[in-house]
Amino acid sequence: MAQRTLTTESGAPVADNQNSASAGAGGPLLLQDQHLLEKLARFNRERIPERVVHARGSGAYGHFEVTDDVTEFTRAAFLDTIGKRTEVFLRFSTVADSLGGADAVRDPRGFALKFYTEEGNYDLVGNNTPVFFIKDPLKFPDFIHSQKRDPFTGRQEPDNVWDFWAHAPEATHQVTWLMGDRGIPASYRHMNGYGSHTYQWTNEAGEAFFVKYHFKTNQGVRSLSSEQAAEQVGKDANSHQTDLLQAIERGVHPSWTLYVQVMPAAEAADYRFNPFDLTKVWPHADYPLQRVGRLVLDRNPDNVFAEVEQSAFSPNNFVPGIGPSPDKMLQGRLFAYADAHRYRLGVNHTQLPVNAPRATTAENYGRDGLMATNPQGRYAKNYEPNSHQGPVQSDQPLSAPYALDGHTGNHAPVAHTKDDDFHQAGELYRLMSGDEQQRLVANIAGGLSQVTRDDVVEKNLAHFRAADPEYGRRVEEAVRELRES
């Protein structure tokens, strides 16, 4: 095969890619050396702003196959037939650290899934935990600031982390998850994924249901202790990326079984927990898991930057039959995620190959802007309605409406009969074995004992006592021992 000729970005052949043009053999370089200037200018611009959260990530392509009939609950086309397959892209991530952070750390993991459906892309943005630290997006920037590197010390500070949690009692449930045995997954393949939020499904008859997604790993859940994780980071800071890449390359394709919990919409108002509170779960005894299908990852990206870093997920990318719920955190993310991508990647990020629809074509009147690649041709109009056979609205809402009442304003959540910040955290603690409880207490005490303010320590201890008196007592004793040693 003939050797291809190296060219500039404009397509002109490059005569010399080893030596810059200069004024004589030993003279200064020339500004007219277009190839040198182009290479240096592009090099200076190879990086884009990293994600504020979920910066460190890995991803892979695969498919989702329907195994069970769920048409009773949703009219989403990609779920309408047993055996139907839909191409997907899944991005895993840590939350708090920067792009250069290590994989095997105690941190929630992002589980962001893009379904390339025939009705458009459906993005499901979740985590490897079914709950989260807060229930209102107004607190999200403050929460992330407390977990990120301190502006003065340039490192994550226990004082900041635990001070925020001391003032956010609703975080007790997620803190118990994070500090427990599942806080450091052994790999991305060996953890579950959850939609975390509550979503709405609507069937052909217009009936509405609220749902929660559970992706159960078929590899089995495996986690690392704090000591094992420290050893792993020392050996390979990219351990999760390495594991995922190598497993798929050698033909070991990780998979997850998708289950949903389904709540008829009429039951939401009187459920004993607020079903839209992201800090709480729906007990399986109330709403059992119902199997939907199987998710398989079978192809690695060819270019991590183009396909993992430039992948953009937004929870407001719904398809007919699926929509949002009144979950406040979800409502905030409907704006924040898309806005983050427009900042990082530009207004036309949806035209990038990893983000563009694959089983259908995007038809809209968006034009121009940075890096636009959809000129549409001379006869296409950029306004609607028009007389030129441009795309028109479907007149079919994606999901069912829900009734609203009351006055506008800044409202505290309406408490349901069993709503509090500690009940479910206590239940989670009591579900653990004795060994699991011991490790949980040790993990919490390891961080809390480093906090310099006694009042912050006491506020956190009060949360654990409220969840379970034994839980609080054991953490208090462990903190005291570490501080006195």
Give the active site residues. Answer: 54, 127
Distance of CA 151 to the CA centre of its chain: 25
DSSP class per residue in 411-449: PPPPP-TT--SSHHHHHHHHHS-HHHHHHHHHHHHHHHT
Rg of the chain on CA atoms, in Å: 25
Give the number of other Cβ atoms within 10 Å of residue 482's Cβ: 15
The token pair that represents 432 in the structure block: 């653990």
Cα separation, 277 vs 174, whole angstroms? 12
The residues with which 89 forms a beta bridge, in sequence order, are 61, 114
- Of 480, 425, 447, nearest to 169 by C-alpha is 425
CB burial of residue 373 (10 Å; 0-12, 13-18, 19+): exposed
Three-state DSSP at 204 gives: coil
Cα separation, 178 vs 444, whole angstroms? 9
Cis peptide preceding 375, ω within 30 of 0: no
| Residue 134 backbone dihedrals phi, psi, to 5 degrees | -135, 165
Cα separation, 425 vs 177, whole angstroms? 8
Give the number of C-alpha atoms closer than 13 A to the C-alpha of residue 416, restricted to the C-beta side. Answer: 16
**Distances in whole angstroms, Cα of residue 402 to Cα of each of 176, 207, 270, 275, 457:** 33, 11, 15, 14, 43
Contact 292, 65 (CB under 8 A): no
**Distances in whole angstroms, Cα of residue 2 to Cα of each of 5, 9, 63, 97:** 9, 21, 37, 46
